[in-house]
Amino acid sequence: MRKALIAVGVLIVLIVVAIAALPFAVDANRYRGKVQSELQARTGRPVSLGQMRLSVFPFAFRVENAIIGEDKNFASSQPFAQVGELFVSAKLIPLMRGDVQIDSLELRRPRIELIRNRQGVWNFSTMNSTKPQNPPATTPQPQPEPQTQPGSQGRKLSLAELKIIDGQVALTDQQRNQPRAIYDHIDLQLNDYAPDKKFSFELAAHLPGAGAQRLSLDGEAGPMRSDTPSATDFKGSLKLDEVSLSGLKKFLNSQALENIEFVASGKAEVENKAGLVTSSGDLKLEKGRVNGVEIGYPVTADYNVTADLNSELYKIGRGTLKLGATPVSVVGTINGSPTPMVLDLKVDASNASISEAARLAAAFGIAFNPGMDIKGKIDAALTAKGAANKPVMNGKVSTHELVITGKGLPQAVQVTNVDLALTPTTISSNEFVATTGSTATHVNFVLNSYASDNSSIDATVRADGAKLGELLSIAKASGISAVEDMDGSGAVNLNVRVQGSTRKNAALNYSGSGTLRDGSISLPSFTKPVQVRQADIKFSQNAAIFDNVVFALGSTNARGSMSLKGLNPGATPQLQFALNADKFDATEWQTLMRNQPVPAKTAAIFELIPTAYAARVAEAPLMHRLVGNGTVDVANLIYDKLQMTNAHSNVNLDHGVVKLAPFTAQLYGGAVNGTMVMDTRPTPAVYTVSTKMDRVDANQLLSAVSKADKILYGLLAANANTNFTGTTSDNIASHLNGNIQLNLQDGKMANLDLLNQLAAIGKFGAQGTTQPYTNIVKLTGNFDVKNGVARTDNLNAVIDAGSLAAKGAIDLANQTLDMQVTAVLSQPFSQSVGGNNIGGYLTTALANSKGELVMPVIITGTFTNPKVAPDVRRLAQMKLDNLLPSMGSPGSLTTSILGGLLGTRKKEDMPQSDQGATPGDPNNTTPANVGDPNQKTPQKTAEPAPPQSVFDQIMGAVGAAQKKKQEPAKKEPEKPQEPPK
């Protein structure tokens, strides 16, 4: 006995060793031609096989990169099937005789292409019906010619077992003109498959996502109808195990039911007989979300449905839905063939809780705010027939004991019984009342031709002696999204009627009236509430007209009238107004206006089906959507330190751009007029100003728009075309751009006694008492301003003792100077200080042919501490060119240097003031003779002086007066005085 057991053990070991060694002993590739030929015969398609080897577990031929070609009648860039790993099991006894008879197939990670052509024929239905097609043009590697077995042509595809593991199926339906869709992660097993008999199947799909995510269908099917696969009989069980809709949509490559999510579990029986499918079962939907809103309760369905797949007609024999604990019965038919589908349904609910239905409706954006908790009962008995998007209904819907609480409601809103009567042409309500606190709102409506393109509404809303805050609470509870972020107080009377087309919002007409007294309204477009002391309201067409309005916002108090058009959903608000205000502070209003996008709302006063809350899209702030025009009168107009009085303007509003034109106002003792444009869309706002000013106090103006306080005095006339951003005067200066043309009269420039500075540079001594300013008779010029830096090349000024021409840059933000100035001192003043005998002659000063001293200097430093230095380079250039400016034209080189003329006269013939040292004298400051210095100059008779211009006569008189004033020069200098304001 012991020996027998040992022998059996040895035999088993030998068998195991033999089986394990079999793949190494048998060259499976010598069967490739036979296996390939057999598969071609079974499928009627070209087949290409890669490398083969014998597999023990399972015992089969393991084939790499198997390809089954497509029927040439189906145009496709892809083969019918591509299999990464194919296991082919053959019957053992015939195989030992060299005959390959395939018994089963196992396809791992295959990719299969299913195509239905325009004639309704599927590509797999032609398998076995024709001789094998030509093999694919390219194969993974060179293959031997297939050896066709006798009698293999047209052999039926029958298998003991067919397995697909983790397969991918791509479906293209050309008959329905549907794009290619991919279905992934599919497992399929067919047992005892033959096309002309019944077979069992197990189908499973593993969907992506958390949880089990498994969908399975198993049962019996057959015989296979290759011409119309949907007519193949089958009977089986469908199981859903924690299948999420998102995973199902990915599996089906479908975007249907967008913004809806749930997890489904349940079991259903499915049977198909010649295309007539019957299904019954129980499904449970949990973790429901619609438009981002949690449903908060499960939905169960107990149903029995029959579907005719040929006509796409679905009959609901039993349909009991439970929304949480609320039952709703649905029976009838759905015809899915036309677009849109056609309904014939009956819906019943008796004394059901409205909470769940209201929450579901709110999630879909219908009638209720999802932040509200609604309690009450509902009765419904109605039928719905016709197109799914425009069903015709008959029956009644009633609600009672409604109590609404929740977000934004200080106290509950109660609604009396609402009775809706539905006919094929109208939906009408009784007059129901919504109350909260001491406010009651009466509402009724009729919706006509609701199933047509010409549907219309006739509704009324009435509230007498209401409180604004409570009225807004009722609107919020009703689902009117336009008031969701609003709040307020005050006494309201309202009686509004809305009539018109519901398809064309612009065609809605409003009529009625209302009043508001001692109100305060918080709006999402403003950071502070609007205080409305009184307003009389009239409604006409799609506009609300406000008369006798007295309101305040921030520090602004205003009164007047206005009208707001565009009350209808989606319309652009249009504002017309005529207002008087005591004050308008532009800086304050920038902080009052919200520039951030706000949730989109409709401005409709009455909405049958309010905007979907969860799906709202952010829209621009109110100021950026407004258009309109009007007039304003403002007693005080303020921008930071800049103040205008008695301002009047026409105003145009265009989606955030405010244009004032023409604009007039009083400005620091003078007048200003022109155009102002304020673009509120960026932050901070951008201002574009084109103005003309006359006799404006220069010091007050510059102090208001820059740091140049107490620098320049006088009466200013100017033309300016500028733009800037910012909210303070410092920002205005640094962001100022444009051009300015100015004319200053009777002014002073502080912190600079230019005449004494010139005296020090020219070495002709201080002239009288030093004073901390320079008198300016007149100042003119043009400035080109870029980012607060003003540049000029034609600045001209008349001072007490002469005239100036300047060019260069002034930084208004940093208060720095970089100017090249040419000073021309009048002839009388020049003679009074020594003429061409001054100490700096030819070094820091020159005299022109009219006897006027010319001094080019550079002014740098700051507004409060300017620095004056000789412009040596400019002086040298003048001497080289022998050209100097004159007092009448200080910016142009029109006269010659005086020394060239004096050299033609004898020294003793010169006036005492023109005589100087000889050329050899080291103290000589007189210009040398032009040409040879030793050459004698012929004596000339003195020529009469040329006639003086009016300007020269005036400046001569000014110089004489200055000279007379400065005669007692030996007095002690007085302390600098502050410049007059």
Mean pLDDT score, 928-941: 38
The percentage of residues in the chain with a pLDDT greater than 90, rounded to a whole number, is 32
What's residue 520's pLDDT?
Answer: 94
Q: Can you tell me the mean pLDDT for 880-891?
A: 91
pLDDT over 50 at 740, yes or no: yes
pLDDT for the residue numbered 142: 41
Task: Inform me whether the pLDDT recorded for 652 exceeds 90.
Answer: yes
Model pLDDT, residue 730: 61
Q: Mean per-residue pLDDT for 845-867?
A: 93
Looking at per-residue pLDDT, the higher value among 13 and 837 belongs to 837
Distance CA 240, CA 244 (A): 10
The stretches of 261-376 forming alpha helices (DSSP H) are 354-363
Section 619-633 average pLDDT: 83
Give the per-residue pLDDT at 383. Answer: 93
Residue 126's identity, in one-letter code, is T
Tokens of 706: 């820059």
Distance CA 517, CA 519 (A): 5
437 Rama class: left (phi>0) / alpha (psi -120 to 50) / beta: left
In sequence order, which residues have a C-beta less than 8 Å from that of residue 6 and are 6 or more positions away?
none
Which of 349-358, 565-574, 625-634, 804-813 shows the lowest mean pLDDT across its residues? Answer: 565-574
**Four-CA torsion 762, 763, 767, 770, nearest 10 degrees:** 90
Helix (H) or strand (E) holding 959: helix 950-965
Which residue did the predictor score with more confidence, 959 or 441? Answer: 441
- Pairing type for strands 372-387 and 439-448 reads unpaired
> What per-residue confidence (pLDDT) applies to 727?
62
pLDDT of residue 555: 93
Q: Which of 100-104, 564-568, 910-914 has the lowest mean pLDDT?
A: 910-914
Q: How many CB atoms lie within 10 A of CB 904?
A: 12
In this predicted structure, which of 35-49, 199-213, 436-450 has the lowest mean pLDDT?
A: 199-213
Q: Amino acid identity, residue 133?
A: Q
- In the predicted structure, residue 12 carries a pLDDT above the cut 80: no
What confidence tens digit (pLDDT) does each residue in 676-693 have?
998 888 877 888 999 999
Choose between 922 and 884: higher pLDDT.
Answer: 884
Residue 381: strand, helix, or coil: strand
Q: Which residues pair with 736 in a beta bridge?
A: none
Q: How far is it, in rounded angstroms, from Cα 799 to Cα 749?
A: 10
- Tens of pLDDT, residue by residue over 404-454, are 988 778 999 999 999 999 999 999 999 999 999 999 999 999 999 888 888
Lowest mean pLDDT among 40-44, 752-756, 845-849: 40-44
- The vertex-962 CA angle with 956 and 964, nearest 5°, equals 105
Residue range 815-842: mean pLDDT, rounded = 89
pLDDT of residue 954: 41
Mean pLDDT of 807-817: 92
pLDDT for 363 = 61
Q: Look at residue 243 and tell me whether its pLDDT is greater than 60.
A: yes
Of the candidates 797, 792, 795, the one whose C-alpha atom is nearest the C-alpha of residue 810 is 792
Residue 13 has pLDDT above 80, yes or no: no
Range 372-387 average pLDDT:
88
pLDDT digits over 307-357, tens only?
887 778 889 988 888 877 778 899 999 888 888 889 899 999 888 888 777
Of the candidates 928, 747, 912, the one whose C-alpha atom is nearest the C-alpha of residue 831 is 912
Q: List the Cα angle 941/944/945 in 5-degree steps.
A: 130
Mean pLDDT over 356-378 rounds to 71
Share of the chain above pLDDT 70, in %: 75
pLDDT at 485 over 60: yes
Q: How many CB atoms neighbour CB 210 within 10 A?
A: 9
Of 602-606, 719-723, 783-787, the one with minimum mean pLDDT is 602-606
DSSP β-ladder status, 47-48 and 60-68: antiparallel
Pairing of strands 574-585, 627-639: parallel
The C-alpha atoms of residue 203 and residue 201 are separated, in whole angstroms, by 6
Residues shown for the chain: 981
Which pLDDT value is given to residue 95?
59
- Helix, strand or coil, per DSSP, at residue 245: helix
What is the arithmetic mean of pLDDT over 274-296? Answer: 80
The owner of tokens 């509120």 is: 680
pLDDT of residue 65: 87
Per-residue model confidence (pLDDT) at position 912: 38
Average pLDDT over residues 813-820: 92
Contact 776, 798 (CB under 8 A): yes
Going by C-alpha positions, the residue among 188, 219, 29 that lies closest to residue 109 is 188
Lowest mean pLDDT among 498-512, 699-713, 852-866, 872-886: 498-512
What are 609-620's pLDDT values in tens digits?
A: 333 333 344 456
Helix then strand count (H, E) for the chain reads 15, 47
Model confidence at 40, pLDDT cuts 50, 70, 90, reads confident
d(CA 377, CA 126): 60
Give the CA dihedral 881, 886, 889, 894, nearest 10 degrees.
Answer: -30
Q: List Cα–Cα distances, 834 to 197, 224, 762, 841, 953, in angstroms.
A: 134, 127, 11, 10, 20
Between CA 302 and CA 282 the distance in angstroms is 5
| pLDDT-based confidence at residue 43 (cuts at 50, 70, 90) | confident
Of residues 363 and 888, more confidence is placed in: 888
pLDDT above 70 for 6: no
Has residue 936 got a pLDDT over 60?
no
Which stretch, 161-165, 571-575, 644-648, 836-840, has highest mean pLDDT?
644-648
pLDDT of residue 588: 85
What pTM was computed for the model? Answer: 0.63
Confidence of residue 939 (pLDDT cuts 50, 70, 90): very low
Q: Which three-class secondary structure state does DSSP give residue 43?
A: helix
**What are the C-alpha distances in Å from 252 to residues 121, 201, 204?**
22, 21, 14
Cβ-based neighbours of 806, under 8 Å, separated by 6 or more: 781, 792, 795, 796, 797, 819, 820, 821, 822, 859
Report whether 628 contacts 576 (CB < 8 A).
Answer: yes
DSSP 481: G
Per-residue pLDDT tens over the stretch 158-205: 778 888 888 888 888 888 777 787 777 888 888 887 777 888 888 888
Q: Is the pLDDT at 645 greater than 90, yes or no? A: yes
pLDDT confidence tier of residue 745, bands split at 50, 70 and 90: very high
Highest mean pLDDT among 180-184, 524-528, 778-782, 945-949: 778-782
The backbone region for 547, taken as left when phi is positive above 0, alpha when psi lies in -120 to 50, beta otherwise, is: beta
Cis peptide before 597 (omega within 30 of 0): no
Evaluate if residue 551 carries a pLDDT over 50.
Answer: yes
Return the closest-CA partner of residue 43 out of 61, 70, 64, 62: 70
Higher pLDDT, 508 or 939: 508
The mean predicted confidence, pLDDT, of the chain is 78
The pLDDT value recorded for residue 432 is 93
Q: Give the pLDDT score at 842.
A: 84
pLDDT reading at 663 higher than 80: yes
pLDDT over 80 at 980, yes or no: no
